[in-house]
């Protein structure tokens, strides 16, 4: 009788051990992520539940055993605050244990890279910012277009473009528009370090005015050694109260960036960005200026030039002049070169 009981208990022990081993294998050893590629992107939205995450994985077609996932998720307390919104990269061959450890408390959360570079207008900036994050470009644009929002960060609707410094930034996928702008403002403040603020005093401009002038300088020349000289020309004109007469600002006002040649009739356009008609700087930047152009304005050339025009070989080089008469001679060369090349607009 004792032998029968012993054999029964032994058999039950083996059975229980087998069950426990199978459960261990199923949840900790066996791959539960099976995908065609090596990696799959998973996006978890705010306030998601374990059921939502499971559904997302199923919709991606990579979760082999949903029940095993939800069972272990319960044991490992993958719920509530441990479900963190964001972007995750899920590797092929992950076990349930690896997957839940990867997701739990945002352990595997990845940042989104956003590269800002030379965008011209708020819609273009909004599209760049929202391209790979949870919120859409319309949400970003509406935030940026709000005067009160701009003022809360120390800008106006015209100058908020100056807040964006060209660079690559790493942002949470689920960032809100407000927090995204706070991050951009923090990067702006970091950019304007003590060295740049010291140089700023010598220009007689504000930080936003420097960005505005830098945006014009970029449009005028791509040759680094000419940037400081061009900046110096414009600062000379500003200090003398002479209209900037900057073609790029007029092209911006016209909204046609294919224009290669500004005509006299264009100079009659009614716009605060028409620097032929209105003295001083325009209301704000005409694009997000590169850092080297901002630094060129801060280190503007100290000279007596008040005029400049592109060289007639269209190489990108520039003639600089102290007098209007000299400028007219150089300008005539440039105009003849455009005529020869039949560039009339």
The answer to whether residues 133 and 209 belong to one domain is no
Residue 162 lies in a domain: yes
Q: What is the CATH number of the domain that holds 148?
A: 3.30.1490
Q: Give the number of domains in the chain.
A: 3
Domain edge (last residue) among 161, 191, 221: 191
The answer to whether residues 142 and 101 belong to one domain is no
Nearest to 170 by CA among 87, 126, 114: 114
Nearest to 307 by CA among 228, 244, 239: 244
Residue 272 lies in a domain: yes
Kind plus residue range of the DSSP H or E element containing 42: strand 39-44
The answer to whether residues 62 and 182 belong to one domain is no
Residue 290 lies in a domain: yes
| Backbone phi and psi for residue 267, each to the nearest 5 degrees, phi listed first | -75, -5
Q: What is the CATH number of the domain that holds 39?
A: 3.30.1490.480
The answer to whether residues 261 and 187 belong to one domain is no
The answer to whether residues 303 and 329 belong to one domain is yes
Domain edge (last residue) among 143, 169, 191: 191
The answer to whether residues 175 and 198 belong to one domain is no
The answer to whether residues 253 and 334 belong to one domain is yes
H-assigned helices in the chain: 2-24, 50-59, 66-75, 96-103, 122-130, 137-144, 147-152, 177-191, 194-203, 207-220, 224-240, 247-254, 291-298, 324-340
The answer to whether residues 209 and 285 belong to one domain is yes
Quick one: pLDDT at residue 25?
A: 53
The answer to whether residues 171 and 214 belong to one domain is no
In angstroms, the CA 84 to CA 5 distance is 51
The answer to whether residues 35 and 121 belong to one domain is no
Q: What is the residue range of 293's domain?
A: 194-340
Residue 313 lies in a domain: yes
Residue 92 lies in a domain: yes
Q: Is 175 exposed, middle or buried (0-12, 13-18, 19+ CB in 10 A)?
A: buried
pLDDT tens series, the chain, 345 aa: 655 555 545 555 545 554 544 555 556 668 899 988 899 999 999 999 999 999 999 999 999 999 999 999 999 999 999 999 999 999 999 999 999 999 999 999 999 999 999 999 999 999 999 999 999 999 999 999 999 999 999 999 999 999 999 999 999 999 999 999 999 999 999 999 999 999 999 999 999 999 999 999 999 999 999 999 999 999 999 999 999 999 999 999 999 999 988 999 999 999 999 999 999 999 999 999 999 999 999 999 999 999 999 999 988 999 999 999 999 999 999 999 999 988 888
The answer to whether residues 243 and 274 belong to one domain is yes
Residue 12 lies in a domain: no
Domain edge (last residue) among 176, 191, 206: 191
Nearest to 173 by CA among 133, 139, 114: 133
CB atoms within 10 A of CB 180: 22
The answer to whether residues 43 and 169 belong to one domain is no
Residue 8 lies in a domain: no
Residue 297 lies in a domain: yes
């Amino acid at each position: 009788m004792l032998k029968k009981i012993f054999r029964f208990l032994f058999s039950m022990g083996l059975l229980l051990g087998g069950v426990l081993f199978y459960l261990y294998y199923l949840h900790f050893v066996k791959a539960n992520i099976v995908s065609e590629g090596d990696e799959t992107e998973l996006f978890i939205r705010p306030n998601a539940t374990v059921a939502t995450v499971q559904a997302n994985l199923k919709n991606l077609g990579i979760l082999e055993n949903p029940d095993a996932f939800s069972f272990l998720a319960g044991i490992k307390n993958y719920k509530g605050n441990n479900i963190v919104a964001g972007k995750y990269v899920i590797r092929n061959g992950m076990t349930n244990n690896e997957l839940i450890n990867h997701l739990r408390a945002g352990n595997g959360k990845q940042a989104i890279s956003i590269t800002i570079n030379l965008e011209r207008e708020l819609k273009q900036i909004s599209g760049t910012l929202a391209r790979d994050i949870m919120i859409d470009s319309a949400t970003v644009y509406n935030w940026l277009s709000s005067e009160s929002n701009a003022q809360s960060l120390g800008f106006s609707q015209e100058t908020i473009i100056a807040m964006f410094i060209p660079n690559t930034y790493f942002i949470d996928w689920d960032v809100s528009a407000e927090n995204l702008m706070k991050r951009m403002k923090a990067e702006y403040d970091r950019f304007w370090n003590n060295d740049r603020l010291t140089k700023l005093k010598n220009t007689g401009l504000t930080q936003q005015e420097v960005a505005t002038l830098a945006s014009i300088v970029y449009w005028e020349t791509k040759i680094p050694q000419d940037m400081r000289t061009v900046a110096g020309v414009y600062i000379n004109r500003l200090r003398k109260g002479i209209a900037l007469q900057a073609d790029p600002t007029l092209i911006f006002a016209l909204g046609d960036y294919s224009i290669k040649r500004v005509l006299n009739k264009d100079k009659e356009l009614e716009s605060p960005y028409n620097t032929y008609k209105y003295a001083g700087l325009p209301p704000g930047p005409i694009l997000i200026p590169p850092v080297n152009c901002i630094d060129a304005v801060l280190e503007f050339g100290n000279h007596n030039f008040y005029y400049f025009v592109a060289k007639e070989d269209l190489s990108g080089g520039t003639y600089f002049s102290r007098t209007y008469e000299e400028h007219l001679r150089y300008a005539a060369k440039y105009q003849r070169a455009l005529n020869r090349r039949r560039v009339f607009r």
